[in-house]
């Protein structure tokens, strides 16, 4: 159902917690800062499937009280010692829209235009959402002719207030003090992106969905989602191996592409992941063509990114540096745990990113 690791004794007055509420599992990471060094204290994961009467690894849609109960169990098992936390907002529960709007030199005028125009792109009354926005780097305002109306590319970010209320209830019922809620892609960027200037593609392979983002100067410049993920692989393995879903999930993570003798397994894996990477390559190419800027790196993250040998297969699709996310690399931890932390890292990118932001508050 999950795994837990308590690494260091902690001072709860200095510790912070990142809580990633995914569709198939909960993840928590507790950090503290000591003499300017970020220290990993403890982490843990708990599958949500058993709480929804479905198999481990399957996506769920649980009510707030059940999520809170599960989270309470995880906090106890992972020996969490702080309530000071930040909590993720699932990308599928949020709206990211890219729009081109008139440019204004005056910041207040620009803000007014963006907030008024946003109403045209949000499919629910603007009063029902929390709205944020970002002006994208390298927009068309700098590229157009002097006599043409200047415009800027803007990323609108909206989250329904009902989702915020649900997360607030989860936090309260689990005994946490959450000072912020953050859409998971922004947490992931903080945890896995080391190059802040050059465009980078992040492929977040979740249980039911895969999200693809091109990030530039730590801002999302392109976003796309498809309804294929690790759950598709697990189901296919369960079918060909005639095993239960829980066992198929273990086979996916422990064998994967590294099991060179199992040609049928390779075929199953390629059928799912080829669709994901083919679509990601299309999104990457579209970004490069539109903005005339080359993507420098592809980073795999999310629970589906931990399949053995996946990065080697992904490299056959992309002509740039392709690697697996290693969010724990930004933390101090015992050397003997490094191989384990690197292996599970993609699953904990969001939780690490949340805790890193909390340390900055």
Residues 332-357: tens digit of each pLDDT: 999 999 999 999 999 999 999 999 99
State the CB neighbour count (10 A cutoff) for residue 11: 12
Phi, psi of 270 (to 5 degrees): -65, -35
**Residue 284 — pLDDT band, cuts 50, 70, 90?**
very high
- The CA-based angle 144-147-150, given to 5 degrees, is 45
Q: Which residues neighbour 113 within 8 Å (Cβ) at sequence distance 6 or greater?
A: 101, 102, 104
What pLDDT is recorded for position 330? 94
Quick one: angle between helices 263-291 and 230-241, nearest 10?
160
189 lies in the same domain as 295: yes
114 lies in the same domain as 72: no
273 lies in the same domain as 148: no
Q: How far apart are the first and last CA of the chain?
A: 33
Q: What is the pLDDT of residues 192-221, one digit of tens each?
A: 998 778 999 999 998 888 999 999 988 899
What pLDDT is recorded for position 7? 57
Report yes or no on 165 lying in a domain: yes
CATH of the domain at 97: 3.30.1490.300
Higher pLDDT: 86 or 140? It is 86
Paired tokens of 163: 């989702």
Paired tokens of 126: 């603007």
Higher pLDDT: 297 or 56? It is 297
Give me the sheet containing 94-102, strands edge to edge: 94-102, 151-160, 129-135
CA distances from 42 to 83, 103, 332 (A): 14, 47, 11
317 lies in the same domain as 189: yes
Q: Is 303 exposed, middle or buried (CB count within 10 Å of its CB: 0-12, 13-18, 19+)?
A: buried
172 lies in the same domain as 254: yes
Question: Are 205 and 305 a contacting pair, CB within 8 Å?
Answer: yes
What pLDDT is recorded for position 138? 64
46 lies in the same domain as 6: yes
145 lies in the same domain as 226: no
pLDDT at 143 over 50: no
Question: Are 133 and 155 a contacting pair, CB within 8 Å?
Answer: yes
Q: What is the pLDDT of residues 94-140, one digit of tens each?
A: 999 999 999 998 999 999 999 999 999 999 999 999 999 998 876 54
354 lies in the same domain as 231: yes
**What is the rounded CA–CA span in Å between residue 190 and residue 238?**
35
SS3 content of the chain, % helix, strand, coil (to 5): 45, 30, 30
pTM (two decimals): 0.90
194 lies in the same domain as 85: yes
**What is the rounded CA–CA span in Å between residue 96 and residue 99?**
10
Report yes or no on 320 lying in a domain: yes
Report yes or no on 230 lying in a domain: yes
Number of domains making up the chain: 2
Report yes or no on 241 lying in a domain: no
CATH of the domain at 35: 3.30.420.40
Percent over 90 (pLDDT), the chain: 65
Q: Over the chain, what is the mean pLDDT?
A: 89
pLDDT at 13 over 70: no
What pLDDT is recorded for position 147? 60
135 lies in the same domain as 231: no
How is 87-103 classified by DSSP, letter by letter? EEE-GGGEEEEEEEEE-
Paired tokens of 30: 């507790």
Which of 116, 131, 160 finishes a domain?
160
What pLDDT is recorded for position 358? 97
The DSSP call for residue 248 is H
Report yes or no on 254 lying in a domain: yes
Which of 160, 187, 213 finishes a domain?
160
Question: Which SS3 state, helix, strand or coil, does residue 73 take?
Answer: helix
**How far does CA 1 lie from the centroid of its chain?**
21
Question: Are 89 and 163 a contacting pair, CB within 8 Å?
Answer: yes
Which of 160, 189, 209 finishes a domain?
160
Domain that holds residue 260: 2-92+161-236+246-360
50 lies in the same domain as 38: yes
Give residue for tokens 């990065």: 311
218 lies in the same domain as 308: yes
Report yes or no on 344 lying in a domain: yes
pLDDT at 145 over 60: no
- The CA-based angle 51-304-198, given to 5 degrees, is 130
What pLDDT is recorded for position 72? 97
**What is the rounded CA–CA span in Å between residue 249 and residue 69?**
24
Report yes or no on 34 lying in a domain: yes
């Amino acid at each position: 159902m999950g795994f837990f690791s308590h690494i260091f004794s902690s001072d709860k007055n200095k510790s912070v917690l990142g809580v990633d509420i995914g569709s198939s599992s909960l993840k928590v990471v507790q950090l503290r800062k000591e003499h300017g060094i970020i220290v990993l204290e403890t982490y843990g994961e708990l599958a949500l499937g058993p709480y929804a009467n479905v198999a481990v690894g399957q996506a769920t849609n649980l009510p707030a009280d059940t999520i809170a109960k599960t989270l309470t169990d995880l906090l106890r098992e992972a020996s969490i010692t702080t309530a000071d936390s930040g909590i993720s907002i699932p990308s599928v529960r949020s709206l990211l829209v890219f729009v081109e709007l008139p440019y204004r030199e005056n910041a207040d005028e620009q803000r007014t235009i963006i907030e008024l125009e946003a109403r045209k792109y949000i499919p629910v009354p603007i009063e029902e959402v929390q709205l944020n926005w970002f002006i994208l780097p390298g927009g068309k305002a700098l590229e157009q002719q002097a006599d043409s109306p200047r415009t800027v590319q803007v990323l609108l970010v909206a989250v329904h207030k009902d989702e915020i209320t649900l997360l607030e209830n989860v936090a309260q019922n689990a005994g946490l003090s959450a000072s912020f809620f953050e859409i998971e892609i922004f947490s992931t960027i903080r945890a896995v992106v080391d190059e802040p200037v050059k465009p980078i593609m992040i492929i977040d392979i979740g249980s039911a969905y895969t999200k693809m983002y091109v990030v530039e100067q730590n801002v999302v410049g392109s976003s796309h989602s498809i309804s294929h993920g690790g759950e598709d692989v697990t189901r296919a393995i369960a079918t060909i191996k005639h095993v239960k879903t829980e066992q198929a999930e273990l086979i996916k993570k422990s064998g994967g592409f590294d099991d060179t003798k199992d040609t049928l397994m390779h075929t199953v894996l390629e059928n799912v992941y080829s669709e994901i990477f083919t679509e990601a390559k299309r999104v990457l190419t579209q970004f490069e063509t539109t903005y005339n800027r080359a993507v420098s790196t592809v980073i795999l993250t999310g629970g589906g990114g931990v399949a053995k040998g996946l990065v080697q297969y992904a490299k056959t699709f992309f002509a740039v540096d392709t690697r697996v996310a290693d969010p724990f690399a930004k933390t101090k931890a015992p050397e003997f745990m490094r191989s384990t932390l690197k292996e599970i890292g993609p699953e904990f990118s969001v939780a690490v990113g949340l805790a890193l932001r909390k340390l900055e508050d």
